Structure 1
Amino acid sequence: MSGTDGILELRCAGRPVASYTTRPELSARHSPRPYLHPVTTPAGVPVSAFAPDDHPHHLGVGVAVPDVAGHNFWGGRTFVRGRGPTELDNHGAQRHEGFARLGPDGFTEALSWAAGDGRVLLREERILRVRELGGAAWALDLSFALTDATGAGVSIGSPATNGRPGAAYGGFFWRAPKEAAPPEVFGAAGDGEAAVHGVCGNWVALAGDGWTLVFAGADEETRRDPWFVRAAEYPGVGSSLAHERRLVLPAGGTVVRRVVTVVADGRLDRAAAEALVHRAVAS
């Protein structure tokens, strides 16, 4: 890995596969945060999207939460019960504090999640690793640990917990590029967006034009989070930290999640996708 001006280049088997921006220059409305973009397959096919027209606050690949004690770390409008999506001056920012480890295969990063007034609500340890899975695929292993920094506890919510059914996004999120046709969706729970969205499953896949992404929870806690999946409206996959109820961290409490993503050339079928993701999680 090499980097200048807060941008790190990730390499797998000697090839660049992603860039990680640690200190983005973004407006408050984007809820500034470190992100991965561009991300590519081994052959160089792009599989991430940054600030697309349909959702300008979608920033490639990273960790984003729309409601941390009422503060927006997702970007864009906030869903308010009884009012719907509403423009609020409640955006927070994730601040890169430094690297505990930085090497050719990834890093361990310290971050603070600060409200607009500067108060730190959460501290995060983020660990990212890249691994080769053969010439046509690699794996991104991303884990994050969020710890209450207020000393009084903090709660994490989503539009779903605030009254919008089916919108329990918040946590790990990967925004894929929008193409002429929606990507194919399939997973452990079945085929199609409706079969996997809002459902717990060991893995879920998006297959687009010359690329496939296969996402898997790599531990029991992560596998208990339902998947948030979009394909018809826009292509994206994420986790749901707060699906039916708010996730409450006690004073000094920590929540840990780990998602492993296979990034592959070509349009994989179910058997190939499942075999690769099982290998990625086990390695």
Structure 2
Amino acid sequence: MVVVQAIPSVDASLTIERGAPPVAEYHVGTSLPAGVAPRPYLHPVRTRGGTVVTELMPPSHRHHLGAGIAVPEVDGANFWGGRTFVPGHGPVWLDNHGTQLHTDWLAVEPDAFAHSLSWVGTDGTALLTERRRIAARPLTASAWALDVAFALTNAAGRTVTLRSPAVLGRDGAGYGGLFWRAPAPARAFGPAGDRITELHGTPAPWLALAGPAWTLVFAGADAVTRADPWFVRVRDYAGVGSALAWRAPLTLAPAATAARRFTVVVADGELSPGEAATLSGAA
């Protein structure tokens, strides 16, 4: 059973202009309960106008931690939090939650920070190591960009496999990678329009999630990242994520690395598709 705890102290923050309030706060997550798969996360993330565009541990999904990196399974360890999908049984509570441990700050500046992490299984074994960099930069008077880059390296000394529930048979549940839990209600749209059936599970240069007074635009910052499908949800909750292993497992040989880079535009107001494409850099 997951127990809600108070938000821990801020470990890093991002500002985009001198003297302005932070547009994002970062927590390494060391005091989180085991059932959410403890890990670093961004919350709150704010527009330049001050609107909060992340949600932390909402009642229906306590393991949704603002914006961060999460993977449902790494060699049997759950680094997503909550229940684990078991073929033939469905989602089941298991004592298999891993932890993303902060190990060292590599750089800390007002508009960017980088750190190293160790992805540790329930037996204390490091399955992956990670280098993560997060930065903020202004775009317009009403929009800024969050740049997120991570590199996961196999630290186990043997082949390690990353899986999503979709790989194990849960249709459409290909999530795992960058994940952003946003406030509801929200609508999604992309270059192909606003039909979820055409956005969900499909690679696209960019994908937008818009609420009553804000828009988030997600874009891969390199060709490898842009080849991953998007996970998008607007019914029951609002969230967008990338998919490292949508249709097939992602297998890493010893010491091999999987790296991804994203840009997320955080804007006040509802952007048009043309504005979203332009700000994402995909136009």
TM-score category by the smaller chain? Answer: over 0.9
Indicate whether 1:9 and 2:13 are aligned: yes
**Cα distance in structure 2, aligned partners of 1:153 and 1:103:** 36
Whether the 8 Å contact between 1:229 and 1:237 is mirrored in structure 2 is yes
Segments of structure 1 that go 5 or more residues without pairing to the other structure are: none
Choose from 108, 111, 131 the match for 1:105.
111
**Normalization by structure 2: what TM-score?**
0.94
Indicate whether 1:164 and 2:174 are aligned: no
Which residue of the partner structure matches residue 81 of structure 1? Answer: 87
**Cα distance in structure 2, aligned partners of 1:162 and 1:101:** 38
Whether the 8 Å contact between 1:123 and 1:149 is mirrored in structure 2 is yes
Shift of residue 5, structure 1, vs aligned partner? 4.7
Choose from 184, 204, 207 the match for 2:207.
204
Which residue of the partner structure matches residue 235 of structure 2? Answer: 232
Whether the 8 Å contact between 2:187 and 2:209 is mirrored in structure 1 is yes
Which residue of the partner structure matches residue 94 of structure 1? Answer: 100
Q: How does 1:41-190 map onto structure 2 within 5 Å?
A: 41-178=47-184, 182-190=185-193
Which residue of the partner structure matches residue 194 of structure 1? Answer: 197
Shift of residue 6, structure 1, vs aligned partner? 5.1
**Normalization by structure 1: what TM-score?**
0.94
Which residue of the partner structure matches residue 266 of structure 2? Answer: 263
Q: Please, what is the CA RMSD of the aligned residues? A: 1.4
Shift of residue 23, structure 1, vs aligned partner? 3.6
**Cα distance in structure 2, aligned partners of 1:193 and 1:233:** 14
**Cα distance in structure 2, aligned partners of 1:271 and 1:246:** 35
Whether the 8 Å contact between 1:219 and 1:258 is mirrored in structure 2 is yes
**Cα distance in structure 1, aligned partners of 2:197 and 2:31:** 36
Q: How does 1:209-228 map onto structure 2 within 5 Å?
A: 209-228=212-231
Q: Larger deviation: 159-168 or 183-192? A: 183-192
SS in structure 2 of the partner of residue 64 of structure 1: strand
Whether the 8 Å contact between 1:6 and 1:23 is mirrored in structure 2 is no
What amino acid maps onto 2:209 in structure 1? L
Whether the 8 Å contact between 1:189 and 1:199 is mirrored in structure 2 is no
Segments of structure 2 that go 5 or more residues without pairing to the other structure are: 1-7
Instruction: Report the identity percentage.
Output: 51
